[in-house]
Structures are given as structure tokens and as C-alpha cells.
Amino acid sequence: MKFGEEFEGQMVPEWQKAYMDYSCLKSILQEIQNSRKRLRTEGDLRPKKSVYRNFSGLTKRYSRAASYLELENQDIMVSTRIGEDGFERHETSIMKVAEAGRESELVFFKTLDLEFDKVNHFYRSKVDEMVKEAVALNKQMDALVAFRLKVDRPASPWTCSETVAVDVDALDSKEQRMKSLAEEMEIQEDGSNGRDSTKEITPEALSVLDRIRLNKTQETPLSTIRNILKLSNQEELKFTKENLKKIEERLKNVFIDFYRKLRHLKNYSFLNTLAISKIMKKYDKIATRSAAKPYMEMVDKSYLTSSDEINKLMVRVESIFVEHFASSNRSKGMNLLRPKVKKERHRITFSTGFFVGCSVSLVIALVLFIHVRNIIGTDGQILYMETMFPLYSLFGFIVLHMIMYASNIYYWKKYRVNYPFIFGFKEGTELGYRPVLLLSFGLGTLALAAVLINLDMEMDPNTNDYKTITELLPLFVVAIVMAISVCPFNIFYRSSRFFFLAVVFRCIAAPLYKVSLPDFFLADQLTSQVQALRSLQFYVCYYGWGDFRLRRNTCRSSDVYNTFYFIVAVIPYWSRFLQCVRRLIEEKDISQGFNAIKYFLTIVAVCLRTAYSLNRGNTWRIGAWVFSALATFYGTYWDIVHDWGFLHNSSKTWLREKLLVPNKSVYYVAMVVNVVLRLAWLQTVLDFNVSFLHRETMIALLAILEIIRRGIWNFFRLENEHLNNVGKFRAFKSVPLPFNYGEEEESR
């Protein structure tokens, strides 16, 4: 693999603009090489010695200590100055300029200096942020040690070999801040042995518990109600082992996240330094100079490589984490701080291929079975389509959606969309496209096998009913899927299953939880699975109140069933509507109000189309037409303009400035397909009659088209979100701290 590809592959995706523009520098070197080849061909490659020249076109006075001979022997000279913002600025002057590639060499070093200053500036600003976070973590550890001692010895005077409090006012300079975690480490080590000591703790250390409160880091419906009533969400300190365990777990996650930031910064420094070294070696080779050594000497003296704050912080964090959150087991602690990279397992690929083969074989067998037995057109076909087909179609909708999601993951990875960060997956637990395909085709194989076994069109002549076991197969498959979903054992990707169930619960209780991207993203997925939800409703009615042995039911003639037919279809849109209202109130973002209007129009349109499909009549038909047209126009505009970020002022016609897919036609095709698929509702009100298709088949086809549209929407929606994160260098999510100090509350 070429270094350029490796360099890009190891970038923090959201920081990619802050890295060295290696490809740009390579293209300038190519221009230098081409210029030299042209002049070499013409025989006019004559080195032209000159006194030094810098990029601004102005001469620059160097120190008198450098002799004229030294200047003559150097290819470049790099000068450093401090800008008005306090950051270093570097400027390279070429001492010997050849005619061949002369301008390109000047442009190369000008660009290189600007890129290096950008990297140096970004790195320094991020290190400052890390130091500030370290000070905050230092205070959190003070409180944790004090809390732990109080829990261990609730009825006796506090004893500790050292004070737990840290003089925060003394942490003014960066050097003192860096020492704080080292002191903290020693303090925590002493504190952990405090129960064996007899030295009484000082009053200053006792005061730390008087100045802190517990923060509510996990929102609950109760905390939402307290916020509405303007009540405090901070808990009084209760020195119990349960609270201590919760605090330790919270703080452990904070340290893991902080350490991950430090690792990213260390890797950022290393990669950029390596990129500069590589590009300078290429320059020396092409320009036949010896400029790499003096330039790298400057780089080595710069803040990017000479600063050791990050290394010190990493050592301190490792020591504290192992001592306090891994029971002094360094191997265990480092495994938590540095989770192992997931390796693609061959058995997953093999199993996926196996189930794909099984699914294809079962589909072929199903077609042949129907053809040989001449099932189409028999008396039992209509009854089968009205009873069994809606039951089995549920699995088809789920499998198709999972396949679309797997394809989304594949292309997100291909174009370096950081979907684990956007969705908030715990590091190392996110599913790749192969496991998702494995689950989808595994479910598909199970469902197709059940269909093939249950493909009976006639009753048993001896019992005058259908076989009970085969008629219960769809219910068994649903039960298996639900059982696996809630299985508490660490099998079938437990972390992903529980994450999914938690997000589903937050969608159901939409207004009572703070809305995050996974919440509204999943709610949008559910709006495309209305027919699947109606299939679940039919399961309840068919097996609960119908006679499944005779394939008889009164579901569609029941007023209760028809009422829930409306409600079930509205639930996903209503959940999404409430999420928008919550964000409008909480974030004061007016665009969420307009988004809520979109879902409200969709709710009305869905209700009117459902009413027309059940009752017919011109009044329902006109209402369905009007509101469906409004909802379609509004939804299409929102998809393309807000969710995808298109149709804004841009140099790329109708697109946004930043695109991840090189072929722009993909975006134009996606916009057209989105509009066409959104018009699928026309069939509902125009009553297209296809003689060879049953009504249930037409409903299933329309649902399939909507799932495909949602899959396309998913890619461009997350692409736009990723580019927004890149524009803001947003590579980490804030992790709430367990303790809140009194002075922090007063400063807000």
C-alpha cells in the first residue's frame, strides 16, 4: 500500500482537514519533475545560483553569525517567528534556485510551510484542551477518593496518609497543570491505602465533599419532568456502595474516552511528522537537493514533535486507571483503555455465503414447488394470500431493510463516513456489513424454510383443517426473533441488540428523553416499516382471535382492528413528530418546527389514505390526494435540501461543496429516484388494478419500494452529518462527569 493511501486510512475522519495535504504536495512535486524533464530534453537545465529568496518576494536578513559560505552550502533556510496570535510561523527560503521548476519549488515550500503551521497550530490547541480536561479529571478523582473513603468508613473519623484535596488555584501554568495528574496519582495511591493509616485527614480535604453534588448523567422521564418544573437534577450525596459503584463506572468511561482522545492526538502528531519526512525525501530525490535534513531539524524542534504533554498525560492516566478501575491489574486496565481492533473472521464470511446459498436455493425450490403443483389459480390461493402472506411478508420487509443497512455500512466504510461515532456505538462493538448480512440471510433462510413447509393450499381431508404445527410456523419464527433480541447472554451481538432495544424504547417515549441522532434516525427507519408494523398487528389478531386451523379470521371486519390499523400506521410518524417538538423547545431550533410540520402532514395523509382504502368514497379520495401531495412535496424538499444538504449555493450545480462519492451523477440519480419512490402512494388513490397481482402483493411491493428509498436516504443523510462533523472538527462526544463542584454551578 502506498503511503498516501495509508496516511489517509489512519486519519481521524473528522480531522481530515487538519492533516497535512499530502496529495497536494505530491502534485506540486510532480510539476517540478515534469518541468525538469522538459528542460532536460531541451538541454537547458543550467543551475542558477542566487542568494537566498523567500516566498513573499522580499529579502530577509539572517543572523550575522551565519557566514556567507554556510548560506552558499545550504539548499534551504527555515526561519521561525511568533505571530500575533502567539503561535509559531515558519518560512522557508531556497538558497539555490534552478530555472527548471523554479516557480514550482517556491510554491512547494510555501504550501509546505502553510500546511505545517496549520498542523502545529491545530495540535497545540488540542493539547491545551486536553490539559484543561486533565485538570477537571483531577478534581473528579479528588472527589472519588473522598467518596470512597467515606463509604468504607462511614462511622469513624476519616483517616488518610495524605490530603485528598488539590490546590486548583496553583494550577495556573501549563507545567503545573501537567504535574497535577502526577500528584493525583500519588494521592490516589495513598488514598487507596487510607483504611490502614491512622493519620487524620485535614479539614481542607474534608471540604471537598461539602462542595460537590452528583450530576444526573443519564436522563430519565422523571428528570425531564423535573426540568419542565425547573427543579434541580442534582442529587444529594448519599454515601452508599450502590452510588459508589455508579460513580466509578461513570468515571471509568470518562477516563477511557479521555485516553482515546490522547491516543488520537499522539497518532496525529506521528502521522503528520511522518508525512513531512516522506514528502521531503521525495523532494530531495526529484530536485537533487539535501533539504530534508534542515527542514526536519526544524520540525523536530517544533511544538508538534518536541512537546511531551500528551505522553505524560497518557502515562498518568494509565497509572490512575489501572490503580483505581482495574484493581491494579495492568493487563486488564490496558485492555479497557486500548480495546483490540476487531478482526474480520473468516467464519462470518463463510456463514454469510452459506446462508446466501441456502436462501437462493429455497427461493428456487419455492418457485419450482409452485409450478409443479400448479398452486396459482387454485381455490386456496386467495385464502392463503389473505392470511398467510401478510404473516410471512413481515420477514421479507425486515430482511430487505437489513440488507439495505448492510450496503449502507459497506459504502460508509468505503467513503470513510465515521458511522460508529455518529451513532454513538461503544468502541469495538459496532457491526460491519458482514455480520449484518449474516443476520439478514440467516433470518431469510429460516423464513423461507417455514414458507416452503407451510405451502398448503388445501385442508387435510381427514380432519377438515390445516396442520396445526405448520400453521404455527410464522408465530414460532417471530418468537425466535424476539427471544434472540432480548436474550441476556453474550451471544448474537448482545451489545448491538441492547443498543437497538434502548433506542427503540427512547423512540416510544420520545418526548421524555433528550433526542440524539440514533433516536431520530431509527424513528425515520420505522416510518418506512409501517406495513411491517401492520403485519405484527395482524399476528395478534390472527392468532389471538382468529381460527388459524381453518385460516379464518374477522380482523378486517372488526372496528377495533380497523381503529388500530390507523394507530399502528401513525405511531412512527407521531414519535418523530414528538422528537421534533422536543428539539424545538430544548434547542430553540426553528428548523425543527418546520420538520414537525412535515411529519404532521404525513400523519394526516396516511390517515386519509387508510380511510380511503377501507371506506372508499370521493371525499376520502380528494382528502388523500391533497394531503398526500402536500406531504410528498414537503418531504421531498426536506430530504434533498435539509437531510442531504443539496440545492444550496455551490460551485457544483444543485449539490453541496463537499462530496464523498467522486461520480456526481450518483447524487443526481439519487434525487430523481427519491422523488419517484415517494410517489408510490399514487397507487393507493388511483387504484391501479393489475389482474395477475393480488391486493396484498401490491401492498408488499409498495412497502418494498419505500424500504429501498429509505436505504438510499440513509447513505446521503449520514454523509451530510459526517461532513458537518468534519467542518467543525467534531471527533469526540462529551462524556458527562459524575461530580459537580459548587463553584462550577455558580459560574454558569
Question: Among the listed ranges 162-176, 184-198, 407-421, 631-645, which one has the minimum average pLDDT value?
Answer: 162-176
What's the average model confidence in pLDDT over 556-573? Answer: 93
Return d(Cα 675, Cα 677) in angstroms, integer. 6
Map grid coordinates 531541451 to a residue: 42
Average pLDDT score over residue span 477-484: 96
Nearest CA-CA partner of 601 in 632, 564, 576, 646:
632
Q: How confident is the model at residue 460 (pLDDT cuts 50, 70, 90)?
A: low
Number of other residues whose CB lies within 10 A of the CB of residue 111: 17
Question: What band does 106 get if pLDDT is binned at 50, 70 and 90?
Answer: confident
User: Which of 381, 389, 714, 436 minimizes the C-alpha distance to 531?
Assistant: 389
According to the model, what pLDDT value does residue 169 have? 39
Stretch among 136-140, 358-362, 647-651, 710-714 having the lowest mean pLDDT: 647-651
Please state, rounded to an integer, the average pLDDT across all residues of the chain: 83
Percent of the chain with pLDDT over 70: 81
Q: What mean pLDDT do residues 538-563 have?
A: 88
pLDDT at 205: 52
* Res 189 pLDDT > 50: no
Q: What is residue 221's predicted lDDT score, i.e. its pLDDT?
A: 72
The larger pLDDT score, comparing residue 553 to residue 365, is at 365
For residue range 122-153, what is the model confidence (pLDDT) as tens digits? Answer: 999 999 999 999 999 998 998 888 888 888 76
Q: What is the reported pTM?
A: 0.83
- Is residue 192 pLDDT above 50, yes or no? no
What pLDDT was estimated at residue 163?
A: 35
Q: What is the dihedral of CA 202, 207, 208, 213, to 10 degrees?
A: 150
pLDDT at 508 over 60: yes
pLDDT for position 100 = 54
| 647 or 198: which leads in pLDDT | 647
The confidence score (pLDDT) of residue 734 equals 75
State the pLDDT at residue 42.
Answer: 63
Kindly state the average pLDDT of the residues 480-505: 94
For 572-609, how does the pLDDT look when each residue is reduced to its tens digit (9 = 90+)? 999 999 999 999 998 999 999 999 999 999 999 999 99
List the single range of 231-235, 256-260, 673-677 with lowest mean pLDDT. Answer: 231-235
Closest CA to 15 of 129, 134, 135: 129
What is the pLDDT, as a whole number, of residue 19?
94
pLDDT band for position 739 (50/70/90)?
confident
Residue 162 has pLDDT above 60, yes or no: no
The letter for the amino acid at 504 is V
Find the helix or strand (DSSP H, E) in which 78 lies. strand 76-82
Distance between CA 347 and CA 349 in Å, rounded?
Answer: 5
d(CA 114, CA 373): 75
Q: Give the lowest-confidence range in 168-177, 295-304, 618-627, 632-641.
A: 168-177
pLDDT number for residue 303? 92
Buried b (16+ CB within 10 A) or exposed e, 448-486: bbbbeebebbeeeeeeeebeeeebbbbeebbeeeeeeee
- Name the band, by pLDDT with cuts 50, 70 and 90, for residue 728: confident
Say yes or no to pLDDT of 237 above 80: no
Distance CA 311, CA 333 (A): 17
Interatomic CA distance for residues 380 and 66, integer angstroms: 100
Q: Calculate what percentage of the chain has a pLDDT beyond 90.
A: 48
State residue 45's pLDDT score: 47
Q: How far is CA 306 from CA 127, 128, 161, 430, 644, in A?
A: 13, 15, 37, 36, 42
Instruction: Give the closest residue to 215 by CA, choosing from 735, 734, 738.
Output: 738
For 125, the grid coordinates are 490547541
pLDDT of 49 > 70? The answer is no
Written as one string, the DSSP assignment of 571-606 is: HHHHHHHHHHHHHHHHH--HHHHHHHHHHHHHHHHH
Neighbouring C-beta atoms of residue 172, cutoff 10 Å: 9
Categorize the per-residue pLDDT at 521 as very low, low, confident or very high, splitting at 50, 70 and 90.
Answer: very high
Q: Which of 156-160, 579-583, 689-693 has the lowest mean pLDDT?
A: 156-160
Sole residue written with cell 497550530: 121
